[in-house]
């Protein structure tokens, strides 16, 4: 549960891995001093209450950098979201947001058609975290970002927004 192997625990507690194995199997009764060192190590390691995989949502709606902007707009409207990650071959490369599209409209860059590629209006991407990331780290990232992508093996597995964290308070 803490992500420690017997070897990790033994090294940190200053005892042998074989002693840890014998204690786990019940074949030895350790001294109080040995147990105290093990408990001290286990007490220092804090278990996250929630991990990214526990609060992320799926599916993640994405567009490719070469998709037309109209596709991004369609996804945003259909799913009532304000930004969409841009993903090429499974790898996040940026994002496109309502703000970027509105700015493009203001500047006249969207004149005539939404057929221009997303890459022309793409913004920097969202930060990424692994499935096992502590939600406290995600909260920190969300202070400066609209969303955090959760990746598994380099591929997008889920997304977390500020809205996804609200249920944690109840």
Angstrom CA distances, 160 to 23, 40, 95, stand at 41, 34, 14
Digit-coded pLDDT (tens) for 35-93: 898 888 888 766 557 889 999 999 999 999 999 988 999 999 999 998 999 999 888 99
- Checking if the pLDDT of 108 tops 90, the result is no
Residues 65 and 31 grouped into a single domain: no
Q: Does the residue 78 lie in any domain?
A: yes
What pLDDT digit, counting tens, does each position of 11-45 carry?
Answer: 989 999 999 999 989 898 888 999 898 888 888 76
Report H helices in 14-161.
Answer: 17-25, 32-44, 52-55, 69-79, 98-106, 135-142
Residues 119 and 147 in one domain: yes
118 within a domain of the structure (yes/no): yes
Nearest C-alpha neighbor of 158 from the set 132, 139, 121: 132
- Shared domain for 60 and 37, answered yes or no, is no
Instruction: Assess if residue 82 is contained within a domain.
Output: yes
Q: What are 122-151's pLDDT values in tens digits? A: 999 899 999 989 888 899 999 888 899 999
Separation of CA 130 from chain center: 5
Say whether both 69 and 24 belong to one domain.
no
**Phi/psi of residue 30, nearest 5 degrees:** -75, 160
Position 113 pLDDT exceeds 60: no
CATH of the domain at 108: 3.10.580.10
Question: Does one domain contain both 74 and 34?
Answer: no
Residue 123 tokens, joined: 């913004």
Asked, for residue 1, whether it belongs to a domain, the answer is no
Domain membership of residue 31 as a residue range? 6-44
Q: Indicate the number of domains in the chain.
A: 2
**Structure tokens belonging to residue 25:** 């199997």
Residue 158: Cβ within 10 Å count: 20
Domain check: are 110 and 39 in the same one?
A: no
In what helix (H) or strand (E) does residue 165 lie, and over which residues does it extend?
A: helix 162-165
């Amino acid at each position: 549960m803490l992500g420690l192997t017997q070897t990790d625990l033994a090294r940190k507690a200053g005892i042998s891995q074989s002693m840890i194995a014998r204690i786990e199997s019940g074949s030895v009764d350790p001294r109080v001093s040995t147990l105290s060192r093990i408990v001290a190590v286990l007490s220092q390691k804090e278990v996250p209450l929630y991990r990214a995989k526990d609060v992320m949502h799926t599916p993640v709606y994405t567009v490719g950098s070469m998709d037309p902007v109209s596709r991004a707009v369609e996804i945003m409207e259909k799913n009532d979201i304000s930004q969409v990650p841009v993903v090429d071959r499974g790898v996040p490369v940026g994002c496109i947001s309502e703000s970027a599209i509105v700015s493009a409209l203001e500047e006249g860059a969207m004149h005539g058609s939404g057929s221009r590629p997303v890459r022309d209006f793409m913004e920097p991407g969202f930060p990424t975290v692994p499935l096992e990331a502590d939600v406290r780290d995600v909260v920190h990232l969300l202070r400066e970002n609209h969303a955090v992508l959760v990746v598994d093996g380099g591929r997008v597995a889920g997304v977390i927004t500020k809205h996804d964290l609200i249920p944690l308070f109840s």
